Amino acid sequence: MTMTKIEAIIQTSKLEEVKSALQQIGVEGMTVVEVRGHGRQKGHAEFYRGREYTVDLIPKIKLETVLPENMVDLTIQTIIETAATGQIGDGKIFLSKVADAIRIRNQDRGVNAL
């Protein structure tokens, strides 16, 4: 079976919800990174001692998980359901093919390593 990497960039306030929901549907492994970025969402202004700074790289959470093909659709559905608020800034999901996966402990390969 092929493996797919799901990279989901979501609002920082949605992390707990998304993580719980994914664990409930059986996603057993994930990596979470704090990132900054923007799509179409505008930044905001901050000021220090009278000088204005435009902050247009907004803090987000990137959640990565590599899954066997047959889990991808359910996972995407779950993420969308829990992470969406309907406003600009909800984030994006990217999918990519993974060439291989190896478990370091015992050198399992492929889907067995997930």
Binding residues vs another protein (CB under 8 A): 46-53
* Minimum distance from residue 30 beta carbon to another protein (Å): 20
Distance CA 107, CA 110 (A): 10
Name the burial class of residue 14, with classes exposed (0-12), middle (13-18) and buried (19+) by CB atoms within 10 angstroms of its CB. buried
Distance CA 104, CA 109 (A): 9
Decide whether 44 or 92 has the Cβ nearer to another protein: 44
Decide whether 53 or 94 has the Cβ nearer to another protein: 53
* Minimum distance from residue 54 beta carbon to another protein (Å): 8
Decide whether 56 or 69 has the Cβ nearer to another protein: 56
